[in-house]
């Protein structure tokens, strides 16, 4: 047991107080130093280190952990030092609180054992300062005065780990010191892990910011590319569509079909290329609208049938009886998946036919499970390659070299079908052709009454076309006039606002990217002007976005700006007519049942 004897300091010596420490055991080495107490008197500080060759495995396990003893009674310090040095600890001593604080600034200390009643600075005051400056150090108090006030102060102010009373059993002291060091090491390890976690989180945040910047840069790049590719293609396909309405010789019509077919192939390639990053990232966006399934399939016959005829192939579509024609789902993604499979079948079939079968697998009152089969009479695919196609959905390299094609389309097709909660697969054998198939579930809906307007209903209806590109002006203007509309054209958003404010228009087609003022700003100005109007004109003019901006979020941006609908370039005539019929006489319907074919992606207007 540690013996505690009262030590009376010498007060007769004219020299600064220097307290002699008792002789230490041969198993330790003393490293003396000097300091000052709070009254400026010199204090003797000592660091006792156990000799490395004089200790058992228990001492080695202590790993030279350092603790600080603070007590103004040197006989207590001596007894504690002997005990703890033998236990393998590195021991620092101080005879006052200020001297102890000085040691803390120079040494890495894990545990402090302090007396309570000391001259100049009590143990509670000392440990309170330690808590503020070095909160990670584990603090113990060893005092012969265990009154409730002292214990309470030690706990509340000094935040001590243990309060021990003198005299203290040696084993109890050792076990408490050992527990204190374990607590210190756990605390230190937790702090290290906390710092590492903080550093990792900061690194992750930096990486996330960099990734988002990269994603935004990619999105901006693809948006710019989409706009740059769709704008000239709008001129090619639009003019080809207008030219089909003129009188042509057979050879001229054949040439025109070649132009239109090539343009649609290019449009399919553009759509596949722009959708590939979204498909791989699982960010394909689906819409849900009513559409006519037969109209959708028939819309594929013109571009793909022309492509097949140019190769000498027969292109056939077949609906099995009892197939519901009016359904609800995403016609754009369904059309895109069919276009990819049919285009590939035509590419990889040297002779014969390509057949599209549409048949119901099962039907219910509110849902239909449809199977789409694309059959070709091509060279067929061996079993090993089929497994590769199912795993990666890529074409065999040798086949691509012979017939051309892009394997990315099949990857996009797989993602499209999966996004619609469907399955996709194939069956084939060398020399026997191939069948690519997929199934999807679509909601059933009732056919609407036939309320489609005739051309005579649109005559003398006035349309404002806002478009800065001369070719796009000619294409859109020609298609609108072919619908019996009177068209006035301006070249930027500012002209649109000025012209609209002076005239009445039944419909506005608005490009988005224009000089002087873009379409978003122009729409906001028109809506603000309408909000201020009280008399003299209709309170709301339908504004339709006519844009080559076809990326995710572009439709939403148009609607947020105040536009009512959204048509993508290249402009498909059927899509355009659908929009005209919806927003001119009979406006107020909320569900479109006639759906664009070819390329456009539209959503049922929000009224």
User: How far apart are alpha carbons 143 and 370 in whole angstroms?
Assistant: 86
Q: Is residue 45 within 8 Å of residue 103, measured between CB atoms?
A: yes
Tell which residue, 470, 557, 593, 220, has the closest CA to residue 566.
Answer: 557
- Give the model confidence (pLDDT) of 333-377 as tens digits: 898 899 889 988 998 899 999 999 999 888 787 888 999 999 999
Domain 28-168 has CATH 3.40.930.10: no
Contacts with 595 (C-beta within 8 Å, 6 or more apart), sequence order? 289, 291, 292, 295, 296, 331, 578, 602
Per-residue pLDDT tens digits for 503-553: 999 999 999 999 999 999 999 999 999 988 755 555 799 999 999 887 778
Q: How open is the CA angle 148-154-158, to the nearest 5 degrees?
A: 165
Give the pLDDT of residue 582: 86
Distance between CA atoms of residues 475 and 237, nearest Å: 9
Reply yes or no on whether the pLDDT at 327 is more than 50.
yes
Residue 354 pLDDT:
94
Reply yes or no on domain 244-444 having CATH 3.40.50.300: no
Q: Provide the pLDDT for residue 596.
A: 34
Secondary structure of residue 309 in the 3-state scheme: helix
Instruction: Kindly list the domain boundaries of the chain, sorted by start residue.
Output: 28-168, 244-444, 455-583
pLDDT tens across 5-20, in order?
333 333 333 333 333 3
Indicate whether this model's pTM tops 0.95. Answer: no
Burial grade of 120 (CB within 10 A; 0-12, 13-18, 19 or more): middle
So what's the pLDDT on residue 605?
39
Chain mean position to CA 257:
43
Least confident of 19-33, 364-378, 473-487, 544-558: 19-33
Vertex 577, ends 576 and 580: CA angle to 5°? Answer: 90
Contact in structure between 67 and 94 (CB atoms under 8 Å): no
Backbone angles phi, psi at 510, to 5 degrees: -120, 120
Q: Do the beta carbons of residue 80 and residue 2 sit within 8 Å?
A: yes
DSSP one-letter string for 58-98: HHHHTTT-EEEEE-S-HHHHHHHHHHHHHTT-EEEEESSHH
Closest to 264 in 3D by CA, of 205, 335, 208, 197: 335
Within this chain, domains 28-168 and 455-583 share the same CATH topology? yes
> Considering only 150-154, 191-195, 465-469, which range has the smallest mean pLDDT?
150-154
d(CA 462, CA 538): 14
Q: Return the CATH class of domain 455-583.
A: alpha beta
Residue 395 above 50 pLDDT? no
Strands 42-50 and 28-36: antiparallel
């Amino acid at each position: 047991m540690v013996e505690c004897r009262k030590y009376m300091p010498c007060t007769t010596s004219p020299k600064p107080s220097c307290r002699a420490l008792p002789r230490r055991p041969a198993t330790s080495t003393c490293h003396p130093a000097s300091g000052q107490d709070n009254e400026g008197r010199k204090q003797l500080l000592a660091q006792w280190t156990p000799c490395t060759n004089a200790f058992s495995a228990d001492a080695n396990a202590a790993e030279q952990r350092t603790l600080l003893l603070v007590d103004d009674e040197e006989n207590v310090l001596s007894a504690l030092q002997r005990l703890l040095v033998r236990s393998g600890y590195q021991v620092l001593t101080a005879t006052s609180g200020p001297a102890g604080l000085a040691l803390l600034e120079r040494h890495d200390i894990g545990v402090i054992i302090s007396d309570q009643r000391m001259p100049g600075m009590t143990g509670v005051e000392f440990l309170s300062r330690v808590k503020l400056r070095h909160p990670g150090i584990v603090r113990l108090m060893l005092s012969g005065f265990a009154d409730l006030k002292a214990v309470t102060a030690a706990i509340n102010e000094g935040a001590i780990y243990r309060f021990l009373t003198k005299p203290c059993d040696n084993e109890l002291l050792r076990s408490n010191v050992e527990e204190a060091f374990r607590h210190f090491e756990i605390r230190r390890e937790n702090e290290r892990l906390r710092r590492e976690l903080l550093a990792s989180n900061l690194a992750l945040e930096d990486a996330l910011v960099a990734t988002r910047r990269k994603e935004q840069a990619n999105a901006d790049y693809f948006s710019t590319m989409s706009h740059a590719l769709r704008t000239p293609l709008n001129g090619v396909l639009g003019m080809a569509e207008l030219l089909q309405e003129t009188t042509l010789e057979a050879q001229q019509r054949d040439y025109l079909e070649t132009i239109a077919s090539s343009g649609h192939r290019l449009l399919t390639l553009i759509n596949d290329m722009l959708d590939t990053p979204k498909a791989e990232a699982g960010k394909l966006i689906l819409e849900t609208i009513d559409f006519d399934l037969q109209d959708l399939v028939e819309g594929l016959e013109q571009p793909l049938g022309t492509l097949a005829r140019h190769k000498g192939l027969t292109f056939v579509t077949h609906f099995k009886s009892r197939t519901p024609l009016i359904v609800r789902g995403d016609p754009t993604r369904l059309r895109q998946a069919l276009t990819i499979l049919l285009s590939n079948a035509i590419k990889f079939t040297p002779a014969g036919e390509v057949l599209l079968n549409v048949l119901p697998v099962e039907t219910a009152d509110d849902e239909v499970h449809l199977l789409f089969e694309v059959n070709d009479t091509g060279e067929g695919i061996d079993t090993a390659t089929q497994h590769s196609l199912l795993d990666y959905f890529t074409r065999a390299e040798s086949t691509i070299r012979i017939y051309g094609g892009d394997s990315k389309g099949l990857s996009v097709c797989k993602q499209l079908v999966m996004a619609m909660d469907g399955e996709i697969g194939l069956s084939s054998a060398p020399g026997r052709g191939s069948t690519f198939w997929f199934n999807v579930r679509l909601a059933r809906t009732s056919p609407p009454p036939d309320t489609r307007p005739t051309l005579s209903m649109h005559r003398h209806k006035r349309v404002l076309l806002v478009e800065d590109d001369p070719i796009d002006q000619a294409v859109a203007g020609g298609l609108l006039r072919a619908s019996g509309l009177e068209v006035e054209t301006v070249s930027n958003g500012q002209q649109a606002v000025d012209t609209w404010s002076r005239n009445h228009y039944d419909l506005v087609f608005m490009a988005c990217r224009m000089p002087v003022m873009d379409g978003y700003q122009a729409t906001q100005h028109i809506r603000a002007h309408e909000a201020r109007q009280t008399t003299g004109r209709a309170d709301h003019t339908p504004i339709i976005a006519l844009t080559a901006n076809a990326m995710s979020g572009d439709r939403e941006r148009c609607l947020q700006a105040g536009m009512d609908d959204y048509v993508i370039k290249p402009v498909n005539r059927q899509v355009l007519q659908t929009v005209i019929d919806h927003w001119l006489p009979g406006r107020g319907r909320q569900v479109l049942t006639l759906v664009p074919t070819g390329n456009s992606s539209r959503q049922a207007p929000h009224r």
